[in-house]
Amino acid sequence: MISRLGYAILALLARQSSTGYELAARARRPLGYFWSARHSQVYPELRKLLEAGLVRFDTAPGPGPREKKVYSLTDYGMSSLRDWVIQPPAPEPGRDNLLLKAYAVWTADPDAAARMFAAEEARHSERLSEYEADRRRVESRHNGGPPPPRHPDFGNYATLRFGIEYQRQRIAWLRWISRQLDGSL
């Protein structure tokens, strides 16, 4: 059985063959917007995928003491990914630190809490700008519109679209909650 991390790796390799190091880097951005993994998790997972016949690798001389391994999808890996995509996702237990704090905010000093939420807002605004820039970059490759659904860029575009609306929603909520707490002086 393949883990979700395994599918994340397959999704990356479907776009571009990579070393384990590169996969970990790509799992920071853009994959990191909705998935993340450290290299210490990637290397063992690649071995499992290899044993299961989903990926293969070619060796090349590496910079360090070991050879570097460039992994790519096998046909079996590609068809497994394709099949997994259309399976309904299992319901996920959401864990949101910020909402947990909001749930307990009535116990805290409203003024200090308002400052904390306002500071969060700034972080989300930065994120939003990044996403918007990325979307413009993708659109510019497709006559200013959304890419066709069979193009790899469609995956980027769809997730960016989600990310942008998500950040906007979160910013609006943060503004609302800071104002509620501010108004209680």
Partner DNA sequence: AGAAGCATGTAATAAGTTACATGATTAA
Partner DNA sequence: TTAATCATGTAACTTATTACATGCTTCT
**What does the binding site for DNA look like in residue numbers (CB under 7 A)?**
3-5, 19-22, 25, 36-41, 43-44, 46, 62-69, 93, 95
Residue carrying structure tokens 């079996």? 76
HSE-CB of 111 using CA atoms within 13 angstroms = 1
Q: Which span (42-50, 57-65, 84-92, 134-142) binds a second copy, by CB under 8 A? A: 84-92
User: Of these partners, a second copy, DNA, none, which one is at the site of residue 34 (CB under 5 to 8 Å by kind)?
Assistant: a second copy
Q: Does 116 bind a second copy (CB under 8 A)?
A: yes
- State how far the Cα of 17 lies from the Cα of 70, in Å rounded to an integer: 6
Contact pattern from residue 130 through residue 149 relative to a second copy, giving x for each residue in contact according to CB under 8 A and a dash for the rest = ----------------x-xx
In whole angstroms, the minimum distance from the beta carbon of 107 to DNA comes to 21
21: Cβ contacts below 8 Å, ≥ 6 apart: 39, 68
Chain centroid to CA 176? 27
Residue carrying structure tokens 């193009």? 151
Q: Does 119 bind a second copy (CB under 8 A)?
A: yes
In whole angstroms, the minimum distance from the beta carbon of 159 to DNA comes to 17
In whole angstroms, the minimum distance from the beta carbon of 1 to a second copy comes to 15
Q: Which span (5-13, 41-49, 56-64, 136-144) binds a second copy, by CB under 8 A? A: 5-13
Q: Does 67 bind a second copy (CB under 8 A)?
A: no
Among 11, 25, 50, 52, indicate the residue that binds a second copy (CB under 8 A). 11
- State how far the Cα of 152 lies from the Cα of 184, in Å rounded to an integer: 49
In whole angstroms, the minimum distance from the beta carbon of 129 to DNA comes to 21
Task: Judge contact between 160 and 134, C-beta under 8 A.
Answer: yes
Furthest CA-CA distance within the chain: 65
Please state, in angstroms and as integers, the Cα–Cα distance from residue 67 to each residue in 159, 168, 173, following that order.
Answer: 35, 45, 50
